[in-house]
Amino acid sequence: MSALTRLAGSEARLFLREPVGAFFALAFPAVLVIVLGNAIPAFSEPSPDFGGERPINLYLPVVLALAIGTVTMTSLLGVLAQYRERGVLKRLATTPVKPSALIGAQLAVNAGALLTGAALMLVMAAIAFGSSGPENWPALLVAFLLGGAAMTGVALFIAAVAPNARASAGIGTLVYFPMLFFAGVWTPGDMMPDGAQRVADFTPLGAASQAMQAAWSGDWPQPLHLAVTAAYTLVTCTLAIRLFRWQ
């Protein structure tokens, strides 16, 4: 087994040993949908207002955005900042393996956790509320991957510029909650005020959420939303690579 696969395997094991982080990445999206669907009866009743669809099912793309935000802003960001502060990256720099391999392993583990958590949520929604999933699968996948890449870039950028792990976690929280707001976690779909909607168009998670909501109902996302997520990915990743300090 190569050093890289060992590193990824080791990071995956460590990820699963952190019960809180593992829960939020893997189980939280599914649990949230089940709880919401059961706590508010109207959510799980087929409604003529939503074309006979259960309202909870229309909330699923927003939960996907929430899952992206949670994994990138808490799990990934927390680990990156800590690995530098504790000298894990520097320690690795003295071996034949580059510290960037550890960051690569972390990206792979978090991407795997995000995909697993999202898939689990979709399966549970199908079982519990008869959700038939997105009507435009390819569009949803594109929007989901672009949204995930954009938020990963934001996490890498914060990890690159934050002076220490505390600051990094603080900035992460300051970004996380507004991102959830613009993704429509509290005001899904048309419920978001117009002014906020305009801002949301230009935030990475807001754009991703709207792109996924469009894909969910069978449309192709607005080019603006895809362009915004792609631009965030490009800019944040470029800056992070330039600014990242290994020690």
Partner 1 sequence: MALRVSPGTGWGLLHPRVGAQPHTGVRTVPLLSVGMTVIEVNGLTKRYGDRTVVDGVSFTVAEGEIFGILGENGAGKTTTVECISGLRTPDSGTISVLGMDAHTDREQLRRLIGVQLQESQLQDRLRVGEAMQLYASFYPDPADWRELVAAVGLNEQVRMPYAKLSGGQKQRLSIALALIGNPRVAILDELTTGLDPRARRETWKLIRQIRDRGVTVLLVTHFMDEAERLCDRLAVLDGGRIVALDTPAALIAGVGDVDGYRANLEDAFLALTGSDRDN
Token pair for 53 = 């669809």
Q: Name the residue with tokens 């460590």.
A: 14
For the bound state, the minimum distance from the C-beta of residue 153 to partner 1, rounded and expressed in Å, comes to 24
For the bound state, the minimum distance from the C-beta of residue 240 to partner 1, rounded and expressed in Å, comes to 21
Token pair for 58 = 């229309």
Closer CB to partner 1, residue 3 or residue 234? 3
Closer CB to partner 1, residue 7 or residue 125? 7
Which distant-in-sequence residues (6+ apart) come within 8 Å of 1 by Cβ?
9
Closer CB to partner 1, residue 101 or residue 237? 101
The residue ranges that bind partner 1 (CB under 8 A) are 1-3, 6-7, 10, 13-14, 17-18, 83, 86-88, 90-91, 93-97, 247
For the bound state, the minimum distance from the C-beta of residue 83 to partner 1, rounded and expressed in Å, comes to 8
For the bound state, the minimum distance from the C-beta of residue 175 to partner 1, rounded and expressed in Å, comes to 25
For the bound state, the minimum distance from the C-beta of residue 87 to partner 1, rounded and expressed in Å, comes to 3
Closer CB to partner 1, residue 10 or residue 38? 10
DSSP 189: G
Distance CA 160, CA 80 (A): 9
Closest-CA residue to 14 (of 118, 132, 106): 106
Token pair for 180 = 């959830």
Is the CB of residue 216 less than 8 Å from the CB of residue 135? Answer: yes
Distance CA 5, CA 193 (A): 47
Is the CB of residue 215 less than 8 Å from the CB of residue 134? Answer: yes
Closer CB to partner 1, residue 15 or residue 181? 15
